[in-house]
Amino acid sequence: MKKNPAPLIISFEFYPPKTQEGLEILKRSSSLLNQVSPDYFSVTFGAGGSTREGTIDMVKWLGREANTPVAPHLSCIGFNRAALTDILHQYKALGVKRVIALRGDLPSGMGSIGEFKYASELVTLIREETGDYFHIEVAAYPECHPQAKNAHSDVINLKRKFAAGANSAITQYFFNPDAYFYFLDECAKQHIFNPIVPGIMPVMHFNKLMRFSEACGAEIPRWLSKRLEAYGDDVESIRQYGMEVVYHLCQRLMAGGAPGLHFYTLNHAELCMQIIQQLDVRQMHMKEVTG
Ligand code: FAD
């Protein structure tokens, strides 16, 4: 028996709130989640109509309020090199050490793609402009990105992002652990051995989850959607059942050797806290493994 030397990477994703009430919720959530000593809080960029300034302001705010490192997301679509470089230098000045580099999505019918078509080009830009300063995370899709030509080309795209200089990846959320483990097998066949941290979506609302999943290409298994749908407006039962499902998913991922867990909090901490506490993640940081 020997100690597993690699600690689990635990992170929580927030989005910049648009209202004072939203900010209050975020304050409570970040202070609660601070208690589990996460490796970092990430802040989305441009998702759900938030602005570039919203992300930068929230990075500054979390940097002051939370004693957890902050990792901003940065998406390149619709931006030029000068604007992206400017943001990177602002983050560097703030002491940010990790960024999540994405392509992003243009709202339908709005604007032009700009100079950058793919996230791999953003990774190249970050390395060109800031050398090895940032730890770069990229996105990975165990159930395949909706616009990918096929599953194989999507894995090749991930390889391209690592070749451009990314360090590790976070996945789109999924509820079928086999999707993740088969994806890792496919990555290994392409000699991709960088850490790929599963993205975890706690279940809070049935309709929102279905809508969101449709848009981002995450599959909700029929057994899960049927069960959640049957609860109707009974939000408490949806959360309770969702909790059980997500807890068991995390357990299987950790038992299978996932390098960490990245929680899509949607700015709410309670379910994430319950899952983390039940998993006793920090205890498992130094879990015993046979060697
Ligand atoms: P890419 O890696 O560029 O891939 C996009 C598509 O193009 C894929 O289908 C890929 O297979 C294909 N592709 C890539 N390169 C090539 C090539 N050379 N030739 C042909 N096809 C190619 N969105 C936001 O707007 N803000 C956020 O903060 C945000 N955070 C996210 C965090 C995580 C962890 C994840 C998983 C997603 C996040 N997203 C966010 C969503 C993301 O921006 C979208 O999924 C977007 O559609 C793709 O981004 P990407 O970085 O994966 O793009």
Q: Rounded distance, CA 68 to CA 30, Å?
A: 9
270: Cβ below 6 Å to ligand 1? no
Q: Rounded distance, CA 179 to CA 177, Å?
A: 5
> pTM to 2 decimals?
0.95
The per-residue pLDDT for 106 is 77
Confidence of residue 48 (pLDDT cuts 50, 70, 90): low
Range of the domain at 230: 2-289
Confidence of residue 283 (pLDDT cuts 50, 70, 90): low
DSSP assignment letter at 94: T
The predicted-structure confidence for 188-205, as pLDDT tens digits, reads as follows: 999 999 999 999 999 999
The predicted-structure confidence for 206-256, as pLDDT tens digits, reads as follows: 999 999 999 999 999 999 999 999 999 999 999 999 999 999 999 999 999
104: Cβ below 6 Å to ligand 1? yes
Decide if pLDDT at 61 tops 50.
yes
- Distance from residue 254's CA to the centre of ligand 1 (Å): 25
DSSP assignment letter at 164: T
- Distance from residue 225's CA to the centre of ligand 1 (Å): 25
Within 8 A by CB and 6+ apart from 147, the residues are none
288 is catalytic: no
- Mean pLDDT, the chain, whole residue set: 92
Which atom of ligand 1 is the closest one to the Cα of 161? 2
Q: Is 132 exposed, middle or buried (0-12, 13-18, 19+ CB in 10 A)?
A: exposed
Decide if pLDDT at 284 tops 80.
no
Percent of the chain with pLDDT over 70: 92
71: Cβ below 6 Å to ligand 1? no
Under 8 Å between Cβ of 202 and 263? yes
239: Cβ below 6 Å to ligand 1? no
**β-bridge partners, 262:** 11, 199
Q: Residue 260: in which H helix or E strand, if any?
A: strand 260-264
The CATH number covering residue 50 comes to 3.20.20.220
The predicted-structure confidence for 134-157, as pLDDT tens digits, reads as follows: 999 999 999 999 999 999 999 999
Domain count for the chain, please give it: 1
118: Cβ below 6 Å to ligand 1? yes
Which atom of ligand 1 is the closest one to the Cα of 43? 28
- Distance from residue 223's CA to the centre of ligand 1 (Å): 28
Supply angle C-alpha 110, 87, 100, rounded to 5.
80
Q: Rounded distance, CA 250 to CA 258, Å?
A: 9
Pocket of ligand 1, candidates 55, 75, 123: which has the most ligand atoms within 8 Å of its Cβ, to mutate?
Answer: 75
Decide if pLDDT at 266 tops 60.
yes
The predicted-structure confidence for 92-135, as pLDDT tens digits, reads as follows: 999 999 999 999 987 666 667 789 999 999 999 999 999 999 99
Q: Rounded distance, CA 243 to CA 247, Å?
A: 6
SS3 206: helix
54: Cβ below 6 Å to ligand 1? no
The per-residue pLDDT for 285 is 46
Decide if pLDDT at 5 tops 60.
no
